[in-house]
Structure 1
């Protein structure tokens, strides 16, 4: 008789991160596996193993190793990471002022994407390597 290998919480979370379609996670994504403290402990272990990166308080993203610096960097750009994290947190993401101006053809300056329009106050600091996303409160017009 072959003994079954017991799946640890770390293996379950690692598998879920690797198989997920999106690369941004918040601890509540793993709430069905265990309690918050154990999930956070496992996420810290995965950070040490360079599988994920912490880009904000309670915001994690899959990592890849940079070919230049040989250090872990996010798989996607900061704007995509921030938009996914905000949507998972229940915040509506809208086009910022400069994005709307560019889309209407009133300006030819391309928005950087580092300013994100939101429908309510956001107190999440999301960033990597000294570069952080900024928020602009936009009415839902």
Structure 2
């Protein structure tokens, strides 16, 4: 399959670890891209983080199943940055870093400012939550 090989090579040559499907639209038709992405996910080259959002994959040391090359805490802000959303750490993280609190948020929470985000991002059972602070 030609499109699959071109997509695999394009992913390997890129430095970034997260990709939007739209970045590869020039490689083929939507149907060809869907088949190519599906095959690369099966092969473990890519993992899916959300609708049209992919990350480079590697085999897990524990299970051998594909996992993202970096943790979701690192990849999620990169995805939102590619989508044009400015992201800051959540209020709980800012309080913890400033010493105002000893508690750290359980899970991944990102502050998107005034932007309301409905895009679901995650991998496995871990998902990203969003908070809005209008300051």
Q: TM-score range by the shorter chain?
A: 0.7 to 0.9
Cα distance in 2, alignment partners of residues 71 and 10 from structure 1: 21
Question: Aligned pair count?
Answer: 134
Is the partner of 1:133 in helix, strand or coil?
Answer: strand
Cα distance in 2, alignment partners of residues 92 and 112 from structure 1: 22
Conserved? CA contact 1:50–1:72, under 8 Å: yes
Corresponding position: 1:33 with 2:27: yes
Conserved? CA contact 1:27–1:40, under 8 Å: no
Cα distance in 2, alignment partners of residues 82 and 36 from structure 1: 25
Conserved? CA contact 1:94–1:138, under 8 Å: no
Corresponding position: 1:59 with 2:77: no
The TM-score, its normalising length taken from structure 2, stands at 0.87
- Among 104, 110, 113, the alignment partner of 2:98 is 104
Corresponding position: 1:78 with 2:78: no
> Which residue of structure 2 aligns with residue 4 of structure 1?
none
Is the partner of 1:32 in helix, strand or coil?
Answer: helix
Is the partner of 2:27 in helix, strand or coil?
Answer: coil
Corresponding position: 1:137 with 2:132: yes
- Among 109, 122, 126, the alignment partner of 1:115 is 109
Question: Highest CA radius of gyration, 1 or 2?
Answer: 1
- Among 74, 85, 88, the alignment partner of 1:91 is 85
Cα distance in 2, alignment partners of residues 72 and 44 from structure 1: 13
Gapped regions of structure 1 (runs ≥ 5): 1-6
- Greater helix share, structure number: 2
> Which residue of structure 2 aligns with residue 21 of structure 1?
15
The TM-score, its normalising length taken from structure 1, stands at 0.84
Gapped regions of structure 2 (runs ≥ 5): none
Conserved? CA contact 1:98–1:111, under 8 Å: yes
